[in-house]
Chains A and B, each alone.
Chain A
Amino acid sequence: MAETGRLTATSARTIPGIGTVTLLRIAIIAVALLVWELLSASGWLYKDVVPSLIAIAKALFNLLTTRVMACRADIALTDAIHLRWELWMPEFYCHLGRTAREIGLALFIGGGLGLLIGLVLGANRFLSRAFEPIVYYLGPTPKIIFFPLMIMWFGLGPGSKIAMGAISCFFPVALSAAAGVRQIDKVLIRVGKSFRANAWQTTTKIYLPAMRAAIINGLRLGLGIALIGTLLAETKLSNFGIGSLIIQAYSLFDMPRMYATLIVLFVLAIGANSLISRMGHIDPIRSR
């Protein structure tokens, strides 16, 4: 009975607590929006640097709904489907699709290679000591400076952007996978050996399931960094993709559109990050 009483008391205290936090969040957002709107109306900053919230909302609506024939070069479908697609699809989604494909391929190539190298480095102590320091110390270097080389190697098209994303995400995935292999309970590996599992069976039945959290965490970090690498490359040199939309808005000084694009991009990036974290039951705040 005493335990029940304590539990009831705790939950009774917690529910108003949640309410207070939510209220505080709403208050913070409301104050921030109010300050923004006042700043916008005050004229203290350069005109249009802080556009009104209504202008940003309008730009957001236009961004997500305006249909422009802009994706012709980008979609390899038959002409009939092609035309229908162009008429139906707002311009933004064509750019989003292009960026998503580039990031997906970058993650597949860079993440796949990273996983493979990470498994080898994690499983072999000698190779780990020989090559892991190189991967470890190259990891935190600014990858965008490789972009001129990627243009030389892979051209001006999507290839160089995919390569940028792949290089960016290779390092966190490799390091996370190597650390994940080393954290596997040795008993599991001995059990595999006692069942005479070959290398493929050991990898697929023991290593990969046992290091699920490490792989997902590596992919989460890899996705974030691949996204940055790909989009930065798009801002530097591209006519397609979300990065190019941001730089187009900058060139035209269309600030509401730039804010709108950044808002959508941040929501998508943070959402993808949270989704992958949930898949691996990872706290995205603590695991960076």
Chain B
Amino acid sequence: MAADGNAGWQKYGPAIVGCTVIAAAIAIIELLIRVDLISRFVMPMPSEIAVSFERIIVEENIPRRFLLTAGECLGAGILVTLVGISLGALLHRLPLLRQATETWVGALAAAPTVLMYPLFMVIFGRNATTIIMMGFAAGLAPVILKTVEGLSGARRVLINVGRSFNLTDRQLFWKILLPAALPTIFVGIRLGLIFALINVVGVEFLINFGGLGQLVSELAERYDLPGTYATICFVILISVLFFMAMEKAERWLRPGA
């Protein structure tokens, strides 16, 4: 019995402690605000935030905003995937071009591309295209780099088998290289989509246009503190669920990883 209890604690203990500490922190904040040690004009009570969830979902039309943000992420994701894989395949096919430009793509990954949003606003206007293009610009580099890595890492024996069947270059790419590289490419797509999501919500907030990011900005400007906090919690929840779904998909594609 004691051994069972110990095993149960080993398994669930950390999660229980983690959740308890978070719950205790929320309770302490509630208490500190109630006794006026933290100003309620700076931070609303967690109970007020919890109550305001229903209000923002109904009054601020969260489902529509969520769909808008999700649509922008989807648009950026499709662009990132198509353009990223195509450019990665091109760099793999032309080794000289790869040698010349791979460091540039790496530099693009390290560059703060999101700061180009005023430039994109001038080019595309203050609309969804700017948001989608910003997501695309932020997510492109990891997809290119991982596509090149995946295609270059295809096992030699698989390529030799393809050649022994006299496959053309096109057949070799579609039937051997791409399927072999898919798990690695997916890592790039996952990173690209996460960067795209971060940038889409961020640019929505910065240019005050679109879905969930705009709602945070709007509620903060209205000084609706419980609503602002609740929307931020909602965005965090969406991001975490998206991240977990991407991880699950990656594990399914790369069972051994």
Interface residues in B68-118 (C-beta closer than 8 Å to A): 96-97, 99-103, 105-107, 109-112, 114-118
The answer, yes or no, to whether A285 is at the interface (CB within 8 Å) is yes
**Docked pose: A246 CA to B244 CA in angstroms:** 35
Partner of B205, one of A130, A145, A224, A246: A145
Question: Whole-angstrom distance from the CB of B29 to the nearest CB of chain A?
Answer: 13
The answer, yes or no, to whether A228 is at the interface (CB within 8 Å) is yes
On chain B, the residues within 8 Å of A152 by CB distance are 42-43, 225
* B142 & A288 in contact (Cβ 8 Å cutoff): yes
On chain A, the residues within 8 Å of B201 by CB distance are 142, 144-145
Chain A residues close to B by CB (< 8 Å): 20-21, 24-25, 28, 45-46, 49, 126-131, 133-134, 137-138, 140-142, 144-149, 151-153, 224, 227-228, 231-232, 235-236, 243, 246-247, 249-250, 253, 255, 258-259, 262, 265-266, 269-270, 273-274, 284-286, 288
The answer, yes or no, to whether B51 is at the interface (CB within 8 Å) is no
Contacts A24-B100, A140-B239 hold; do A129 and B14 have CB atoms under 8 A apart?
yes
On chain A, the residues within 8 Å of B118 by CB distance are 235, 246-247, 249-250, 258
On chain A, the residues within 8 Å of B97 by CB distance are 24
**Docked pose: A147 CA to B239 CA in angstroms:** 17
Contacts A137-B244, A243-B115, A285-B103 hold; do A148 and B228 have CB atoms under 8 A apart?
yes
* B13 & A126 in contact (Cβ 8 Å cutoff): yes
The answer, yes or no, to whether B15 is at the interface (CB within 8 Å) is yes
* B216 & A24 in contact (Cβ 8 Å cutoff): no
Dominant SS at the B interface? helix
* B110 & A284 in contact (Cβ 8 Å cutoff): yes
Closest chain A residue to B217, Cβ basis: A148
On chain A, the residues within 8 Å of B21 by CB distance are 130-131
Closest chain A residue to B203, Cβ basis: A144
A-B pairs, 5 with minimum CB distance = A285-B106, A148-B220, A129-B14, A250-B118, A130-B14
**Docked pose: A86 CA to B121 CA in angstroms:** 33
* B244 & A145 in contact (Cβ 8 Å cutoff): no
* A265 & B112 in contact (Cβ 8 Å cutoff): yes
**Docked pose: A230 CA to B119 CA in angstroms:** 18
Question: Whole-angstrom distance from the CB of A273 to the nearest CB of chain B?
Answer: 4
Partner of A144, one of B122, B206, B240: B206
* A126 & B100 in contact (Cβ 8 Å cutoff): no
Closest chain A residue to B115, Cβ basis: A231
Stretch from B52-60, B173-181, B229-237 at the A interface: B229-237
28 contacts between A and B (CB under 8 A): A46-B122, A130-B15, A134-B18, A134-B22, A138-B236, A141-B236, A142-B201, A142-B202, A145-B202, A145-B235, A147-B205, A148-B216, A149-B232, A151-B220, A153-B42, A153-B43, A224-B112, A228-B114, A235-B118, A243-B115, A246-B115, A246-B118, A247-B118, A253-B122, A259-B119, A270-B107, A274-B107, A288-B110
